Amino acid sequence: MRLSRYFLPILRETPKEAEIVSHRLMLRAGMVRQESAGIYAWLPLGLRVLNKVQKIVREEQDRSGAIELLMPTIQSADLWRESGRYEAYGKEMLRIKDRHDREMLFGPTNEEMITEIFRAYVKSYKDLPLNLYHLQWKFRDEVRPRFGTMRSREFLMKDAYSFDLDQAGAVHAYNKMFLAYLRTFDRLGLKSIPMRADTGPIGGDLSHEFIILADTGESQVYCHKDYLEFPVPPADTNFDDVAGVKATVAKWTSLYAATDEMHDEAAYNAIPEASRVSARGIEVGHIFYFGTKYSEPMGANVQGPDGKPVPVHMGSYGIGPSRVVAALIEASHDEAGIRWPEEVAPFKVALLNLKQGDSACDAACGELYQTLTAKGVEVLYDDRDDRPGAKFATADLIGIPYQVMIGPRGLAEGKVEMKVRSTGEREMLSPAAFVSRIT
């Protein structure tokens, strides 16, 4: 992508309304724009990151055996009356009337709708287990939307829903998602800790929140320090190995970890003092097992092995990709700007032409841009007629992992300069050597 033809509205001033660093940087780097309180447009740079986060989330859902579909954002109130949640959900639900005066709502979550889809088609225990997920915009009329996309009113969620014949099956489904979440956050470059959590309006009895430690987190959390070093399940994890999956979850729940609402002071104090972590955390994911809470009232039954109808056991599993983008910045930035982990970076390379209009520089940049693009490397080529200082500042701000700078002095010796954004490490090397370093 040539920056001269891109849409990257960088802000020079620090926006006053932004209280935390990720919000400031997302606005300054031209990633998002607020359209109403808690409602954001995703600008091209932000969308690239959001898409990469979604890609990883998808790959790990698919790996664990979940199947993607897509449900609508607008739901019917009647569906929610069946579960009894239409009244119970309260003011966080955005209620709408259509032209025929039918009551609709903008979905804050999809337990009811997925249960309705399930009951329409699945009739036998032989079709279980089943786990269906989607990535769709949700709306919750948060009392206090703040911190940019961290707590917005419209936000993206990956929500998965599992269906099993009995509790044992449902716990295995829960455990699989537990592992998938560990892998997802690890691939995103985040250290997540599963913590025993309250089930809130979703209901149920088994629940973990996946928490990222960060000073700006809205939850107070307590855990054993060793969790920060626990190994994450590998890519070749066999998700059908019930005992193996259970053993991994057992390890990851063997030490103390709880959010404020579930905190047990006595159990926490039993941890050796040096291993206690009391910190702020960001909830990036949340998994629930809630048995027949929805299947019973909504009549989602299957015929069991003995021919009798049984309500299915369900779980639901959420990740907020739009919140994750902000959490990634909270976890990885410096005074100059964002430092994207490579897997989610909007571009891998920022190519800076330090003397636009100089025929040698233009030619060398054009050639390197071609070579990298042909190899499938995502390059943002700063070909604007601007001072080198401004180009350095932009590249640092938007956090591209590798910068390659081409100027007359280096070129005289056939060299370009590489800078690694995360470490600040610099090196003069030939264009060919740069290409092989990063491909």
Using CB under 6 A as the criterion, which residues of the chain lie in contact with ligand ATP when the complex forms?
Answer: 140, 142, 151-152, 155, 157, 200, 283-286, 318-320, 322-323
Closer residue to Mg ion in complex, CB, 193/372: 193
With beta carbons less than 8 A apart as the criterion, state whether 360 and 411 touch: yes
Nearest-approach distance from CB 338 to ligand ATP, in angstroms: 19
Amino acid, res. 88: A
Measured CA distances, 427 to 14, 74, 178, 372, 419 (Å): 31, 53, 42, 18, 7
Min CB(317)–ligand ATP separation in Å: 8
In the complex with ligand ATP, the residue whose CB is nearer, 209 or 383, is: 209
- Closest-CB residue for ligand ATP? 320
Measured from the CB of residue 19, what is the shortest distance to ligand ATP in angstroms? 15
| DSSP letter string, 121-172 | H--BGGG--EEEEEEEEEE---SS-BTGGGB-SEEEEEEEEEEESSHHHHHH
The item of Mg ion, ligand ATP, none sharing an interface with residue 323, based on CB under 5 to 8 Å by kind, is ligand ATP
Distances (CA, A) of 144 to 217, 293, 319: 15, 29, 20
The entry of Mg ion, ligand ATP, none that residue 368 binds, CB within 5 to 8 Å by partner kind: none
Separation CA 421–CA 369 (nearest Å):
19
Q: Residue 107 binds which one of Mg ion, ligand ATP, none, with CB within 5 to 8 A depending on kind?
A: none
Query: Considering beta carbons, is residue 42 or 125 the nearer one to ligand ATP?
Result: 42
Structural contact between residues 199 and 290, judged by C-beta atoms closer than 8 angstroms: yes
Tokens 């607020």 sit at which residue?
34
Cβ neighbours around 311 below 10 Å, total = 19
Question: Closer to ligand ATP at the Cβ: 140 or 183?
Answer: 140
Which tokens belong to 101? 């005066």
Nearer to ligand ATP, 199 or 373 (CB): 199
Choose the one of Mg ion, ligand ATP, none that binds residue 151, judging by a C-beta under 5 to 8 angstroms depending on kind.
ligand ATP
Q: Which long-range contacts (CB under 8 A, 24 or more apart) does 249-252 make?
A: 249/175, 249/178, 249/179, 252/178, 252/182, 252/194, 252/227
* Nearest Cα to Cα of residue 312 among 157, 178, 133, 111: 111
Residue nearer to Mg ion on the CB measure, 176 or 286: 286
Selection from ligand ATP, Mg ion, none that 285 binds (CB < 5 to 8 A by kind) is ligand ATP
CB 155 to ligand ATP: min, Å: 3
Q: Which does 116 bind (CB under 5 to 8 A by kind): Mg ion, ligand ATP, none?
A: none
Give the residue nearest to Mg ion (CB).
286
For Mg ion, the binding residues (CB under 5 A) are 283, 286
Closest CB to Mg ion among 149 and 237? 149
Spatial distance between the Cα atoms of 341 and 212, rounded to a whole number of angstroms: 15
Cα separation, 160 vs 155, whole angstroms: 16
The DSSP-derived string for 103-117 is EEEE-S--HHHHHHH
Query: Residues 239, 66: contact at Cβ < 8 Å?
Result: no
Q: Which is nearer to Mg ion, 320 or 410 (CB)?
A: 320
Q: How far is the CB of 254 from ligand ATP (least distance, A)?
A: 23
Nearest 5°: phi and psi at 45? -65, -45
Find residue 365's DSSP bridge partners.
Answer: none
The nearer residue to Mg ion, 283 or 417, going by C-beta atoms, is 283
Considering the complex, what minimum distance in angstroms separates the CB of residue 198 from ligand ATP?
A: 9
What's the min distance (Å) between Cβ of 159 and Mg ion? 11
Q: Which is nearer to Mg ion, 207 or 353 (CB)?
A: 207
Least Å distance, CB 201 to Mg ion, is 9
130 binds, among ligand ATP, Mg ion, none (CB under 5 to 8 A by kind): none
Treating both helix axes as pointing N-terminal to C-terminal, what angle do 44-63 and 167-187 enclose, rounded to 10 degrees? 140
Q: How far is the CB of 215 from ligand ATP (least distance, A)?
A: 16
User: Taking the complex as a whole, how short is the minimal distance between the CB of residue 102 and ligand ATP, in angstroms?
Assistant: 26
